[in-house]
Amino acid sequence: MPQEGWHVLHLFYRIERSQWEVLSHDEQIRAKTGLTKLIQEIRAIPQTQLLVFSMVSPKSDLGFMLLTPDLHVANACEKRLTQGLGTDVLSPVYSYLSMTEWTEYFTTEEEQGAKITAEKGFAPGTPEFTAEIEVYRQHMAKYKQDRMYPNMPDWQVFCFYPMSKRRNDGNNWYALPHADRRRLMGGHAITGRKYHGKVRQLITGSTGLDEFEWGVTLFAHDTYQIKSIVYEMRFDEVSARYAEFGDFLIGIQLPLDELFRRVGI
């Protein structure tokens, strides 16, 4: 078990049609029934979530997003899912391992207190000040819970991409003072808040775990909102100067019976 947070494993597969078509109709039914039972078993594991996607574009056919605190569980589930439709039917095309994490750029209680005094004139120790601080504490507790131990939505449109911060001579993110990095990330957050209720976002850390430094998972009801938030954020200085992106993968969350029909099995 990790000290804090959950492991997050994104898995993407191609369905090998030649292997699938070799199976008889009865064998195909048993394979789909077996995968359905496996998905249900994984979803029944405590503190574990498994989302399934029909992937859009030939980059992959089938996608999974697994969240679980235990790396052994993640490892076992990944091996079983890969064999979930039988030997060699699912061929892995991409995977990404990361962990939920807290942000180092949050507003501290001392900073929030100074802001309350400056903006509202409430002195520390007064009932009004104490009430405002309590609202801040509740907000931060929920925000941290949502980042570290999220409950993933059933919104249909899914987008995943990995990213890193540049470390070249001209734009080295890690050479910037913390105050500068925090200011830049604050501007990024302002852009993100414009999409509240339209896009759900989960940022997971992967430094030391995979080839990029973060994984970004987005959910929306409308593809337009995914496209819009990613495009608008490109103009934020933190992205324009310091961001490097991997491939984008788009999928759709569907009930399993409909998903099977969609992917052609």
| Structural contact between residues 164 and 244, judged by C-beta atoms closer than 8 angstroms | yes
Residues known to be catalytic: 161
Give the model confidence (pLDDT) of 34-73 as tens digits: 999 999 999 999 999 999 999 999 999 999 999 999 999 9
Residue 252 confidence (pLDDT) above 90: yes
Q: How far lies 7's CA from each of 4, 34, 48, 195, in Å?
A: 10, 25, 10, 26
Is the whole-model pTM more than 0.75? yes
Give the model confidence (pLDDT) of 143-199 as tens digits: 999 999 999 999 999 999 999 999 987 899 999 999 999 999 988 889 999 999 999
Q: Checking DSSP bridges between strand 199-205 and strand 249-253, what pairing results, if any?
A: unpaired
Query: Per mean pLDDT, which range of 33-42, 100-109, 152-161, 214-223 is the poorest?
Result: 100-109
Residue 1 confidence (pLDDT) above 90: no
Residue 84 confidence (pLDDT) above 90: yes
Domains of the chain: 7-100 (3.30.70.1030), 102-150 (no CATH)
Report, as an integer, the average pLDDT of 115-140: 94
